[in-house]
């Protein structure tokens, strides 16, 4: 994240303009719209991972059933 390096550079003696810029960046990254978008993406990613896990389990069950018969 490039803004973290910028924070490190300005953390010692920040100017008011640098503080204002950092506040603007923080607000930009934590707006309700962006937060909602991140939550939706997290749900999609989680659902995708759960779907993949279910498929792996079903494949395991199918292979197990074949090996038992």
Q: At what angle do helices 2-10 and 16-29 cross, to 10 degrees?
A: 150
State mean pLDDT over 9-13: 69
What is the percent of the chain with per-residue pLDDT over 70, rounded to a whole number?
84
SS3 assignment, position 47: helix
pLDDT of residue 60: 97
State the DSSP code for 12.
S
State mean pLDDT over 28-37: 80
pLDDT of residue 53: 97
Contacts of 6 by beta carbon, 8 Å cutoff, 6+ apart: 22
């Amino acid at each position: 994240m490039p803004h973290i390096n910028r924070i490190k550079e300005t953390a010692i003696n920040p100017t008011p303009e640098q503080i204002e810029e950092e506040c603007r960046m923080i607000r930009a990254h934590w707006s309700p719209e962006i937060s909602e978008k991140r939550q939706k993406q997290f749900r999609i990613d989680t659902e995708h991972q759960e779907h993949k896990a279910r498929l792996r389990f079903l494949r395991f069950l199918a292979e197990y059933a074949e090996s038992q018969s």
